Structure 1
Amino acid sequence: MKKKIKFYVYKISTPILEKKKSKKSDDFSYISNYFNYNILLYCIKAKEINTRLKRIRTFDKSKTIVLEKFEDKYDENFSFGEFLTIAHGVKATSIEIKKLTKTKDFEENEGIVNKVKFFIDKRNGYIYVEHDRNAVITMKKIQSYFSEMSNRKSYYEEFNKINIPFYQLDTHRRFINTTLLEPLDFIEQIKNIKKIYDIEIPLNIEGYQKEKNGVLSSLRERANENEVGEHKAKIVLEDFNFKKMSKELLNFIKFLQENELYENLKVKGSLNSNIPRVFTPETSTKDIMFETEKDVSGWANTDLVFNNLKNIINEDEQLNVIFNTGDVKAVDIKKCLLNLMKDKLYKNLRKLGYTNLKNRKLIMKK
């Protein structure tokens, strides 16, 4: 069965310090919008090496996230992962809706599980996160989940050693930041509409009331005579004799947007699929919607989803971009993960009373 699927688009950055062209040895500038997939990959792998139970992270005692799977080499330019999300925290009862009979009681530590897919574009740091019907996954929770401060040391020591003196990681800051990817300008968005449905033009109420002649004036007068009370007015243009956004219609919409009489303009159309969506000048988030096959649990096939998503990305000038990582040298992630595991092992052994651990030889089995 084909159903809608929605992905939010976030921008991940991995800030670094870059040496300024100055004689001062400690004169660095902070590059906040820099992205290097090697840094992000380490953050994910540092979480993935834990056992499944140790990958559990609970927020606000009611929202739980688990990294269930991660494939770095899913595609040449994309990695793929999947979260399990569980909403819980209150006692609840499930009901069979036809007969309203109770089927199960849920305790506070039980909840409904959902699978949330995500894809990371290695070229630019854009992460595409499936809408979570449990309302657990958010941009900030993803950032927090992969930003454990205790995991940083083995990586930043190696990074700073091989990239000195030109690039360094700030040892007091987290490795990754996650922000909303803002959509293009309103006109730039609607330029790419493949099928247009309608244009809704709400009228500025003050301008609408000042009009003395015309259809609107006549309707307003009749409404006042019938004492309909306070109201708003809008015009809807629909049933166009063409499908794609035409140059003439685009110019007309530009006129509407610039005219103070017409406020909160809405254009309804579809971009890469037949799913209609509403575009407004106030749209503040970038997201992608399309239809795909889903099973009875509401979960979609990963490969089918990715093929749809990749086609949309390839046709979008804002998304299909490559960021230059500069001359930064890549860190050996396996080496860093081994050091991280050694540090954790030593810490646990010390808790058990072992001493002189640095003089003991550790044999790592492959």
Structure 2
Amino acid sequence: CFRDYFVHKFRAMLGKNRVIFPGEKVLLAVSGGPASSAMVRQVQEGLSREAAKRLRFVPGLLYVEEGAVRRQSPEQREQTLAQMETLLQATGFPYHLIHLEQALELAPSILQPGPERAGTPGPSYKEAVDSFIQQQRQDGDSGTSLPAHSAQDTPAGPPATPPRLPDAAQTQELLRSFEAAGTATAREELLEMLRTHLIVQAARDRGYTKVMTGESLTRVAVKLLTNLSLGRGAFLAVDTGFTDRRHGDVMVVRPMRDYTAKEIAFYNRFFSIPTVIVPPLFTKRREKPSIHQLVERFLLGLQEEFPSTISTVYRYGGPWGGAGGVGGSGGTHNPHFGCRTGEKLSPEPAKASSESQRCLLCLCGLDTDGGEWGGHWG
């Protein structure tokens, strides 16, 4: 019963939003943690021949190795890489392993949204599904939704030697960048930014148009309050919604955002989903915790006494992104109060009117308009 509920929720999330078309290449960003591992298992089961309603996209896996900024020794990093490669190979999907140090080699173009598809509008979702089914019938459905691996993909096979670690000079340069960040909060933001840029660039280089990430409902709730604490309330729709279109040619989707961390933990335990746990981001001696850590402790502490805390924060995220909410365009009335997070939040405040009004780090519009409060300062 629990398994059917878990599977149905995943399929319903994808089916309701209809942003992933049949035959489309989708890159699954895997961290080895509980949520992303459960996401991979859902995709595996959805593509199997026994599935009642099979998924029809073409998956690939990506793991970003971050051992340098997590204070792992070279031996520990190689061990983690070997464990992850074993897990990725077991899925049967093509996979890619990259290091966080590679973010230092990215071209400046990563700081701009990619060109969106030009030309005539594509077919509707229903037309795409009908065309895909008809094509499969003509070709004689072989029972698999996966095409041959491209030359850029690493196909599943016997365990091989893990990829070589980056040069020590690259690792030291990366560590200097993180040590230059004055606070733990700044390092958390820097890590997330570099990771996102790497994932998006990897998707572009390998022809993937969608990226799936494993943020759970718990993680989304923490992100909501963290964004508000950091003054990013205007960008809640793109930072926590089901879809994130800020990168232009690559869309990020979050299919696990309706699952609590507890549900994911039970699912992984009941069905023996393997995970790989890595240490947290390093902190300096006598340094205060990051805002991300404080918000997480606060919410999880409340959750122990009031079990509906996380779901309530998630559910009532609606007022913080629409008109009149935090980061909105003024006014106090919000007709979407109580709506599910990301379904009624408007992404408009995150859009930049021009390149000069775009943040180079997060690619969102600069939130310089004070709205109704602007006239009260200065």
User: Shorter-chain TM-score category?
Assistant: under 0.3
Instruction: Give the TM-score normalised by the residue count of structure 1.
Output: 0.22
- Which structure shows the bigger proportion of residues in strand conformation? 1
- Which structure shows the bigger proportion of residues in helix conformation? 2
Instruction: Give the TM-score normalised by the residue count of structure 2.
Output: 0.21
